Amino acid sequence: MVAIVGWAIVLAVICFGTAGLVGGAVPVNAGWREPADGIEIFVESNGVHTGIVVPKVAAGVDWRPLARPEHLADPRYAGYDHLSFGWGERAFYLETPTWWDVRPTTVLAGAIGSRNTLVHVDHVPRPAEEPAVRRVVLRPAEYRRLAAYIRAFVVPGGRVHRGYGPYDAFYESNGRYSAVRDCNAWTGEALAAAGVRVGAWTPFPNTVLWWF
């Protein structure tokens, strides 16, 4: 019985991985092409988690009333001109400040599904382009759609949690997190909502980054 369960788990992992790669390879907004000029954003990855970096003020969108200096352990970091947005499961975010803190029970609970979610916001300078950071240019209307998608996940008047360092914070969020809709799938959904060509389902970092 133990062997059967073990093989079932291995098969499920293989099927999930294969489905994720296929879903990431099927484009939505297939006709989209990056404009020569527009609003510059960045898609970033730490190898496990992806996020979207945007300017604090652009195309009529001002993030400063949302991501306020007093939300930071050190308000001086609010002087940076960009914000990095990510989305994820609350317990995983708050209980795993480092990878050494990751527990199997936390991962399993998030994979099964949770409506306890947070938006993670870092105040950052303009990122440098590198293999794990991709520059993307959007038209103003596309950028406004992206901003509207991100903003819809932040609960108005919700609790703000201090972040891992002096420059970030967590905001109470909407949405249900699961293995199917994880942080990377959320990044892909946000870009798709803007009208950008991206994978139909992007559960892994590479299924997001390989489009840019």
Q: Please give the tally of structural domains in the chain.
A: 1
* Among the listed residues 75, 47, 59, 15, the one whose alpha carbon sits nearest the alpha carbon of residue 133: 47
| Lowest model confidence (mean pLDDT) among 5-9, 34-38, 137-141 | 5-9
Domain containing 116: what range?
2-209
pLDDT, tens digit, 9 for 90 and up, residues 79-120: 999 999 999 999 989 986 655 555 565 555 555 668 899 999
Which pLDDT band holds residue 23 (cuts at 50, 70, 90)?
confident
pLDDT, tens digit, 9 for 90 and up, residues 177-211: 999 999 999 999 999 999 999 999 999 999 999 99
What's this model's pTM, rounded to 2 decimal places?
0.89
Residue 1's pLDDT is: 58
pLDDT, tens digit, 9 for 90 and up, residues 135-170: 999 999 999 999 999 999 999 999 999 999 999 999
Residue 113's pLDDT is: 65
Of residues 15 and 187, which shows the higher confidence score?
187
